Amino acid sequence: MSRKMGAKKPELTELSRVRDRITFLYLEHAKLNRQDSAILVTDSRGTAFVPAAIVSVLMLGPGVDVTHRAMELMGDTGMGVVWVGEQGVSQYAHGRALSHSSRLLEAQAKLVSNNQTRVAVARKMYQMRFPNDDVSGLTMQELRGKEGSRVRQVYRHESRKNDVPWSRREYNPDNFDSGTPINKALTAAHQALYGLSYSVIVAMGASAGLGFVHTGHDLSFVYDFADLYKAEISIPVAFQVAAQFGDDKDIGARTRLAMRDAFAASKILVRMIQDLTSILGVTETNISVDLVNLWDDKLGLQKFGVQYHEFKEDGGR
């Protein structure tokens, strides 16, 4: 038998928890390979090594070639991998999650499947964004109306603060360069936030598609979750970048760099973990658990890997 080359597959207990990882890394026009426990990135400027276990999400843009061995390492270390379009404005596919536990997913499915609990979670998420508003008795329609009003106020405030002209939000997913500088900056900022939000959601074992406010899309909960941080992070960053680099053709790249710095400065990754578990009502945040159980409608969770006796039709053994 031939000897397997490279570093051994790490145990879950050896991996960095999601909260301890750096936020995201965007790459385009590069070749990705594997060297031991690092992703070897090669482009026209040279070569760099990226330790796989410390990156939360790797965003792969146009012109990226990935070897099989590199993908193997990403999967083994639980790195979130998202294939995106130019400037990161579209998401096409994603890789596996870090968590092997279904606790968050089960809690999320239960909450979203009941109208009362779904509205309660939507109110809770709105209250997290705008703590001074009383939304305890609002319907979903009233929540959406109030949310739209508050977000428009945020846009107007940042426009005045940064002296950046503002009329309305315009976004063409098929033509990033057709937008105004501020709209291009907003698109890039929001997409960076979506990427990080998506990585946290799937890494923790929740579903990106089971949204409480947004619905009908495989990223509905990503949009819900990212909305918690737009007024605080992505909108201000976009207006700041537009004020400083409005005429720069690389405003998308500059915005992503600014978002990276804002993520680090705000320690947003730690907050996202706490917020996600709080929203879904699950207090345990240790996701490094490789646990599989069998479910029984009468006996509850049963140990996996045990040979059980077959039940007879009359219920006897």
In CATH, 103-280 is 1.10.10.10: no
pLDDT of residue 10: 46
- How far is it, in rounded angstroms, from Cα 210 to Cα 219? 8
Provide φ and ψ at 302, rounded to 5°.
-120, 155
pLDDT digits (tens, 9 = 90+) for 244-270: 998 878 898 899 889 988 887 888 877
User: Has this prediction a pTM greater than 0.75?
Assistant: no
Tokens of 67: 């070897």
147 assigned binding-site residue: yes
Contact criterion met (CB below 8 Å) for 142 and 150: no
- How far is it, in rounded angstroms, from Cα 21 to Cα 71? 19
227 assigned binding-site residue: yes
pLDDT of residue 279: 95
CATH superfamily for 12-94 is: CRISPR-associated endonuclease Cas1, N-terminal domain (3.100.10.20)
pLDDT digits (tens, 9 = 90+) for 23-40: 567 788 899 999 888 889
For the chain, the domains span 12-94, 103-280
Question: What does the chain come to in residues?
Answer: 317
Beta bridge pairs of residue 41: 32, 48
Better-scored residue on pLDDT, 228 or 300: 228
pLDDT of residue 99: 62
Query: Does residue 73 carry a pLDDT above 90?
Result: no
Better-scored residue on pLDDT, 99 or 298: 99
Average pLDDT over residues 86-95: 60
